[in-house]
Amino acid sequence: MKIGIIGAMDEEVELIKGKLEKREDTAIAGCEFHQGTINGTDIILLKSGIGKVNAAIGTTLLIQLFQPDHIINTGSAGGFNESLKVGDIVISTEVRYNDVDATVFGYEFGQVPQMPAYYEPNAELMEVAKKAAEKVGIHAVTGLILSGDSFMSDHSRVEELKTRFNNPYCAEMEAGAIAQVCHQFDIPFVIIRSLSDIAGSDAKVSYDQFLETASVNSAKQVLLMIEALSA
């Protein structure tokens, strides 16, 4: 088995990178790939860079060059649901874009023309993710993750998206692109995001303060997922 793991920033990949044995590092088109093993399982860790285009480039290269059996996206996000707090985990039940509008042609808001309205993760990977969160002792929920090239610091924008989508749990900037590429290549995936902030007016202050905590929480869960998938 070979597992691909994607994070956008150093903070989101450092913990996992430090666990890789026999590590080999490669840089391609601004993407950093780290090959190695964890618990005897082949791992390809990608630091993609921030945003949908970087994520799409990195995910495509990861699939084409390294042929992973599964892809796990780890990282931070801004929370939308009032029941959640910084450090909580959201495991995707579906991923939708929050910055795509082709509704004039009859598509749903967030739907790229000629593509699905949303992207569903692999059910088995979802279950493994839920069990890993329980084992790590972090509060985790499953739900809708929104994705777009904007940091959610505008309260009015957050409220608008809450009316456009049914109970979104968080928003971030890479998952939609990763999910779409996995859909195109028929690669099982799951998105795991730990909340670094609650989207809105104070989001930047919280993000700056809690990014590392959120990234570590998400990475700890991924390491337990690797352990479970390796068994």
Q: What is the pLDDT of residues 173-223, one digit of tens each?
A: 999 999 999 999 999 999 999 888 776 555 554 555 666 777 778 888 999
By the 8 A CB rule, do 222 and 19 touch? no
Give residue-wise pLDDT tens across range 149-165: 988 777 788 889 999 99
Domain that holds residue 63: 2-230
Is residue 197 part of the annotated active site? The answer reads: yes
Number of domains in the chain: 1
User: pTM of the prediction?
Assistant: 0.92
DSSP designation for 135: H
* Angle (nearest 5°) at CA 62 between 190 and 11: 65
152 annotated ligand-binding residue: yes
Instruction: Report the alpha-carbon distance of residue 42 to residue 44 in Å, rounded.
Output: 7
Catalytic: which of 99, 124, 197, 208?
Answer: 197
By the 8 A CB rule, do 78 and 198 touch? yes
CATH number at residue 44: 3.40.50.1580
Is residue 99 part of the annotated active site? The answer reads: no
32 annotated ligand-binding residue: no
pLDDT level of residue 70 (50, 70, 90 thresholds):
very high
